[in-house]
Every structure is written in C-alpha cells, then in structure tokens.
A and B are shown apart, each in its own frame.
Chain A
Amino acid sequence: MSTVPSELAVESEAKGALPTGGAPTPARRVIATLMKSPAVVVSVCIIVFIALLAVCAPLLAVITGWGPYDFDKSAIDSDLGGIPIGPLGGISAEHWLGVEPGNGRDILVRVAYGAQVSLTIALSATLVTMTLGVVLGMVAGFFGGLADQIISRVMDFLMAFPTLIFMIALLSALPAGNRPVLLVIVLSIFGWPYTARVIRGQTMTLRNSEFVEAARASGARPMRIAFREVLPNLRGTIIVLATLAVPGYIGTEAGLSFLGVGVMPPTPSWGQMISTAVGWYAVDPMFFLIPGTFLFLTVFSFTVLGDHLRTALDAGDAA
C-alpha cells in the first residue's frame, strides 16, 4: 500500500520527541512535591528530632547527669507532698523540662527513653504488620479461590473483634515477661488485616492488567509474577500505609500503657507518664503537658506526612 510512509518518518518518530533532559524518576518527583509543603517539612523535622531524641537518650542522660531511674530528692518539696521546687514543674538549668513530682526523676531524660520505647514498639509492629499484611493480602488477591476465602474470613474475624477490650484482657492475663515484645505481637495480630485488605484489593486489580498477561505469555510462573510484576506497583501504597500505621501504633501503645497494661514501670513510656500525671494535674500541670505534647506532635507529624505522601503518590498515578 502506498500509505506507508518513508524510512525517514520512522526515524523521526522513533528517536526524537522525548523531552530533553529526561523526566525525573517517580521517587524524586514525589520528594520534590512534598518538600514544597511547609507542613511536610515541619513534620519531617519533628519526626527527625524525636528520632534523634530516642537514639541519643543515653547521651542525654550523660549530658544532664540524670539517668531515667535516678531520684532527685533535692528537686522536690517533700513537705508539700513532693511537688517540684521552682516554676513550671521545676524547670531549671539542672532539669531542662522539670522533674516528676513525688520522686524527682528528670522528665526530659524519661521522655527521651520513652520515645525510644514508643518508637521501637511502633516501628517493629509496623514492620511485622506490613510484612504479614502484604504477603497475605497478595496471596489472597493474586491466587483467589480457597486461599482468598480463608485469609478473608480470618481478616473479617479479626476486624470484627472488640480489639481494645481483647488487648487489655490479653495483656493483663499474660505474665509480665518482656512487655515491649508482647505489645508488638498483640498489636501485629490485630493490625495486619487493615493492611492486607487494601493490598488484596489492589492486587486483584493488578492481576487483571495487561502487563501481568504479558508476563504470563512470556512464560512467568505465578510467584514470579506476584513478586516481580505486582509487588513493585504496590510500593506507593505500602509506603503510605506504613507511614499512617506508625502513629496508630504509637497512640495504641500509649493508650495501653496509660491503662496500665502496656509498658510496665519503671521503664518509662509516654502513656504511662501521662497516666501518672493525672493524679497531679491540679498542682503540676507541666508533668501532664510535656509528655502529652511529645505524644501529640509525634502522632500528628506522622499523620500529616502520611496524608501528604498519599496525595503526592495519587497525583503521580493519575498523571
């Protein structure tokens, strides 16, 4: 047919027409978008600060000269029932964020050690739930059939459970043992279905896409399709889910510690400090405010970051 154009035309279409310099990679584009938002920059700064606080907790103890379990009888007024001496809960050059009423332990050092405990538990629980949720969600969504039936019913069962009541009952009944590990296990058991449900849905969509069909036609086995073709397309979702899971677990851990079934004293934890502060709020509100502020800022920053990440990644998919 004479409508077939010349070789020259083929060349121009094939080799030209790309934007010069090349488009940035997806990851770089998302980071660039995020960095334009002041809320994200502030959130990231807060998260980095809290993380540094947690990592440097022992260093902080050396600098201030107070360990997390050291009592300072000189910082509290035992005649008045142990309220801190000085303004704002005993803030001084010696104790930068004041001391705990009753025993005079340094709040800054205890908040730093508390951050260590909270972040370790939250990040471990996130890692475990993400792994379980992604693997089981992908198996359910990709293979369907009996595997999907079993996994979905277990997810329904766990999600319909009165989680908090069960966690309290379970943690009260269990021997003291290693509390942080127990917390991670309990949080993970009830947490993974929320990840798995989303991953399952996305996998079901991706399973029917043409590039999966293309991989099958290329001779790929199901497991390789799942991990090589489907998993990379879940990356954005996994990042967002993980970022939003962390504040959830920090909050739940604080709640359980507040209720007395989480991290056991004397190990410091934010929820536990807030719980102790309840008895003192009339005479020493700073003891409540300081750990409360740290908890709030951490949860809030992770949530803001997660929300912005989701928006940025969604925009990328639509483009």
Chain B
Amino acid sequence: MTESILSAKHVSKVFVTRGDGAVFAGTTRFTAVDDVSFEVPRGKTLGIVGESGSGKSTTARIVAKLIDPTEGTLEFEGDDVTKPSGRALAAFRSNVQVVFQDPFSSLNPRHTVEKIISAPLDYQGITPKQGKRALVRELLERVGLNADHAQRYPGQFSGGQAQRIGIARALAVSPKLVICDEAVSALDVSVQARVINLLNELQAELGLSYVFIAHDLAVVRQIADTVAVMSKGRIVEQGDRDAIFGHPQHEYTKTLLAAVPQINPEWELERVRMLAAEGAVE
C-alpha cells in the first residue's frame, strides 16, 4: 500500500437553495456529494469518472478548497485541511493547484501569459529565486510552449496551447498535488492525447500527484492509476485501474463501460452483450 498524499473521509456536500425567490417558498436541499471517501496515492493519479451531475466536479471543488464540505474530513499529508484558515489555507494553496475545464474562460483575457502564469506567485507573495520572468520562461518551455510568447494574450492561442498555459500556471508554485477538473474535456481528441502525455511526463519528472476528473473513460484509462466511479453523488466503485476497466463489479460501471464505443473486439463483444441484456429487460 502506497502512502497517500490526500485522503477524504465521509465527505458530503449539501446545497441549500431558496425556492424561486418567493417570500414564503421553502428551501430546497440538494445532496451533490454523499458520503464519499477516497485516497490519492503520492506520485500517482486518482481518476474520478462519472456522468454529468454525478458530483465529481463538486468533489473537485471540495478537494481544491473552493467550497467547504458539509460533512466529513479532508487530510493533506496527514494534516487536517477540512476547514483551514489563514496560514494553513495559504500553505495548502501552495501545495495544491487546479487546472480547469475551459482553458479560455479560466485564463483572464485581459492579462498577458506572463501575468497569468505568475499570478499564483503574486497572490501568495512568493518570489522565485531565479526571478519571475525567468521562471515563467522555464515553465512555458516545460509545458512545450514558446517562451517568447510570454507577452501574448490568451486569445492568441489555440485551445490545446491555452490549456498548457493553465498547466504552467498550476506548476508556478511547485505544488505537490494538481487537481485536473475535466482538464481535457474541452479539447479535440488528438489534442487531448497530447495534453495527457504532457501531464504524464510532468508527473514522472516532478513526482506530482493528480486528482483527474473526467466523464470520458478513455481519457481516465490513459492517465489514472486508481479509479473511483461516481454516480448520483456516491462513489459506487473504486480500485486499481485495470481492475475497474477489466473486471467492473458494479452495474453502473458496467453500463458506463458498455456505453463507450470500443475498438477492442473483446470489449465490443461485452458491449453487445450488455446492450442485448438491456434490450431484453425492456
């Protein structure tokens, strides 16, 4: 058993909304994440898959400390980070960074690439020893971009390039854990593969740990070491990648796998069997 860098224990998130703004309307409670527990092994990748509304993005936002969980605890490197404040939160932010889904809307269109990438340094009051400008150039080259493009604006890049800028920003404060919230979902399939390749390389070079959220099983298969499958706010199955993809135990996982068009004849056979079974039920 490998040591885990982050662990979530019995985490739940309930959203309370006031009904339609009417004066006497009651409140609506919606449980987005329901009693979820998982561990992220150090230097490895935990993939979280699920369809829209399964609570995987809420889970990502909880882990990134963008929202607080209603119940449960989070531990990062053994320290409790469920509701950190002040210094503890600042320390957490320098260790955990996020790569967002839409590369363009997550980059401020009015800032140069240099300003975007160095923003986490400015916000956390960190001065890199080689200088900010040099660090930005280093990061740009590390993610496979031209370092001379530091003075350009996000609108001048393609989607894949923009997402590399988002990755460079996440790396600026030398984090230990990077949360990729649907980080490749908005990209073309070929570009997806290259960005995943880059993430795998960075993991090997820098020893990063990832929480990789996606709805696309093929993508998760390429990057994850362990996989958690979410449905309706709960983790229905989790375990080793090969176990999940090879021998799914839960019905939902099987349905998810069956819904993916396959090129492997064996999987295709399984898919046909699944669909046939479904048809028989109906």
| Residues in A lying within 8 Å of B, measured CB to CB | 1, 3-5, 9-11, 13-15, 17-19, 22-23, 25-26, 209-211, 213-221, 224, 228-229, 232-233, 235
Contact = CB atoms under 8 A, between A and B. Distances in A.
A10 B143 CA distance: 10
21 contacts: A3-B222, A4-B197, A5-B197, A13-B161, A15-B145, A17-B158, A22-B152, A26-B153, A209-B105, A210-B101, A210-B106, A214-B98, A214-B166, A214-B169, A215-B108, A215-B119, A217-B64, A217-B93, A218-B124, A219-B123, A224-B123
Interface of B: 64-66, 89-90, 93-94, 97-98, 100-102, 105-111, 119-120, 123-124, 143-146, 149, 152-153, 155-158, 160-161, 164, 166, 169, 173, 190-191, 193-194, 196-198, 221-222
Contacts of B193: 3-5
A214 B191 contact: no
A81 B191 CA distance: 86
A233 B197 contact: no
A22 B148 CA distance: 12
Given A217-B66, A218-B169, A219-B93, A210 B222 contact: no
A217 B97 contact: yes
A174 B163 CA distance: 60
A43 B191 CA distance: 48
A220 B158 CA distance: 27
A112 to B, nearest CB: 39
A25 B124 CA distance: 29
**Residue among A9, A15, A211, A216 with most chain B CB within 10 A:** A211
B169 A1 contact: no
Contacts of B173: 218
A219 B108 contact: no
B64 A232 contact: no
A241 B153 CA distance: 25
B109 A233 contact: yes
Contacts of B97: 217-218
Nearest to A221: B123
